Amino acid sequence: MDQNIAFNHLKVFADIGTRIAGTEPTKRAADYIEKAFSHVGLETNRHHFDIPMYSLKKPSTLQVKINGKWQGLVHKAAWFAGDTPLDGVEAPLVYAQDGSEAVLKRIEPEGKVLLIARDSYYNYPDDDIYRRLVKYKPAAVLFTTSAGWGGSEPPDVYYNFKTVDTEGEAPPTAVVLYSDALELLEHNHDILVQYNAQYNRSEGACANVIGTLAGTDSTGEAIVICAHFDSVPGGPGIGDDAGGIVTMMTLAEHYANLARKGIRQKRTMHFIAWSGHEVGLHGSREFLRDNPDIFNNTKFVLNYDIVGNRISTNTLMVSASHQVTQEITEVCESLGYDWQIDAGVWGLDTTNFCSKEIPGVNLVQTLTNWNHTTRDNIKSCHPDSFIDPIIFGKGLLDWVANAESIQQGYPEDMNEVARSYSEKYGWGLYQEINV
Ligand SMILES: [Zn+2]
């Protein structure tokens, strides 16, 4: 049973634990994936690249003084944000709403700690807001989670420190829970905040793992089936995205078995496990940059990101022409899936393929929004959750691997959405390609 193949792989990732790109557990995960690929008969490769790494020099501390009494606040220091001085910053709290220019002008943020409303998991700190914030010289920034955030701790988030171009250093930044933020605002007198966080920043070596199944077609056209195997520091990354990896590995095994029986697909299939995803989609970006042949020949991308949680619903995030989107809808209908199909991009590895307007679809199993916390563990997953992602994958791949042609290119409005998203977060290849 396919779902058991997937779940048995998943247990191995659960044993390996947290897989921060560039660290030893990530190498073990890469070895496991490569071995499994070659065991079923795929041609395997590794693509090596360096990524930015961070760690806190010591655990960060965040305290607020209310009614003359200091109390600690549950928080997560944002990765790569600016350091506080060694003895921390101490400054009054001011609510900056959504951090818009109009609000910032009104509240005189200089030297204060700004509290900014944000769904920090879905809307990471981004370049646009930091370009604005830096001008106003706040002492520190606290982002909130959404009210519906399912974790008892805030998610790991990062500021894309590597790509941003601000004048001046990014302010120290942490994420606090919505409920705590609400409580702070209910005290309508002065609140003093004390925050302390310093980081080690370095470069680390990591690698993507590629398993290839040659197609019968000699034109070199290919499709990419992918997921990411690195995880955030604050959780084991089982649904996000070991679940995607094991779905992809199960599909790789299926098509390799068919090939062994003489049933070959027309287009070459590259099954790719990305690393360096969590720090800014680096794995897919570096791979496409270093492999222009594959980039130019890829006609379709199927990406799995967040799969396997027992209680979840399915959303397809599609970047493609109207015609291809329609064809994906028809695949769903023929399989009996009434899945939500959204057009656009998220912080998903297909974003790097968007700069060449390559058709792509991401399957994201939503509903559980505790990704990037300790709760994203194997207890919340179940073999049966893999049945439909695998059936969908086969249905879609049978089509895209063999279709006479797949319409390339995006509608202009989708291009615009993808381009501005890419610019906002500093993700994707738009800055280098298609300019
Ligand atoms: Zn993910």
| pLDDT at position 430 over 80 | no
Residue 157 domain boundaries: 60-197
Reading the block at residue 24, the tokens are 């030893």
- Is 433 a member of any domain? no
Q: Rounded mean pLDDT of the chain?
A: 93
How many separate domains does the chain show? 2
Task: Give me ligand 1 centre to Cα 271, in Å.
Answer: 17
Task: Give me ligand 1 centre to Cα 137, in Å.
Answer: 32
Instruction: Decide if 210 contacts 272 (C-beta within 8 A).
Output: yes
Task: Give me ligand 1 centre to Cα 281, in Å.
Answer: 10
- Is 165 a member of any domain? yes
Do 377 and 412 share a domain, yes or no? yes
Q: Cβ neighbours of residue 395 under 8 Å, at least 6 residues apart?
A: 331, 334, 335
Instruction: Decide if 130 contacts 143 (C-beta within 8 A).
Output: no
Do 85 and 172 share a domain, yes or no? yes
The structure's pTM equals: 0.94
The dihedrals phi and psi of 246, each to the nearest 5 degrees, come to -70, -25
Do 83 and 30 share a domain, yes or no? no
Task: Give me ligand 1 centre to Cα 194, in Å.
Answer: 32
- Is 431 a member of any domain? no
Q: Cβ neighbours of residue 180 under 8 Å, at least 6 residues apart?
A: 73, 74
- Is 395 a member of any domain? yes
Last residue of a domain, one of 168, 197, 226: 197
Q: Measuring CA to CA, how many Å separate 427 from each of 233, 307, 421?
A: 20, 22, 8
Residue range 82-106, pLDDT digits in tens: 999 999 999 999 999 999 999 999 9
Q: Cβ neighbours of residue 110 under 8 Å, at least 6 residues apart?
A: 136, 137, 138
Do 222 and 349 share a domain, yes or no? yes
Alpha carbons 236 and 249: distance in angstroms, whole number: 19
CATH label of the domain that carries residue 348: 3.40.630.10
Coil, strand, or helix at residue 243? helix
Coil, strand, or helix at residue 245? helix
Do 188 and 264 share a domain, yes or no? no
Do 26 and 144 share a domain, yes or no? no
Alpha carbons 119 and 229: distance in angstroms, whole number: 24
Rg of the Cα atoms in the chain? 22
Alpha carbons 156 and 370: distance in angstroms, whole number: 10
Q: Cβ neighbours of residue 211 under 8 Å, at least 6 residues apart?
A: 33, 34, 37, 38, 42, 43, 44, 45, 252, 270, 271, 272
Residue range 214-268, pLDDT digits in tens: 999 988 999 999 999 999 998 999 999 999 999 999 999 999 999 999 999 999 9
In 3D space, the residue among 216, 295, 229 whose CA is nearest the CA of residue 37 turns out to be: 229
Q: Measuring CA to CA, how many Å separate 429 from each of 185, 282, 356?
A: 40, 10, 9
Q: Are strands 75-77 and 173-176 parallel, antiparallel or unpaired?
A: antiparallel
Task: Give me ligand 1 centre to Cα 145, in Å.
Answer: 18
Do 262 and 337 share a domain, yes or no? yes
Q: What is the pLDDT of residue 168?
A: 67
Last residue of a domain, one of 153, 181, 197: 197
- Is 368 a member of any domain? yes
Residue range 290-343, pLDDT digits in tens: 999 999 999 999 999 999 999 999 999 999 999 999 999 999 999 999 999 999
Residues surrounding ion ligand 1 at CB below 5 Å: 240-241, 305
Task: Give me ligand 1 centre to Cα 85, in Å.
Answer: 33
Last residue of a domain, one of 182, 197, 212: 197
The dihedrals phi and psi of 295, each to the nearest 5 degrees, come to -55, -50
Do 222 and 334 share a domain, yes or no? yes
Do 152 and 263 share a domain, yes or no? no
Residue range 388-418, pLDDT digits in tens: 999 999 999 999 999 999 999 999 999 998 8
Do 158 and 248 share a domain, yes or no? no
- Is 33 a member of any domain? yes
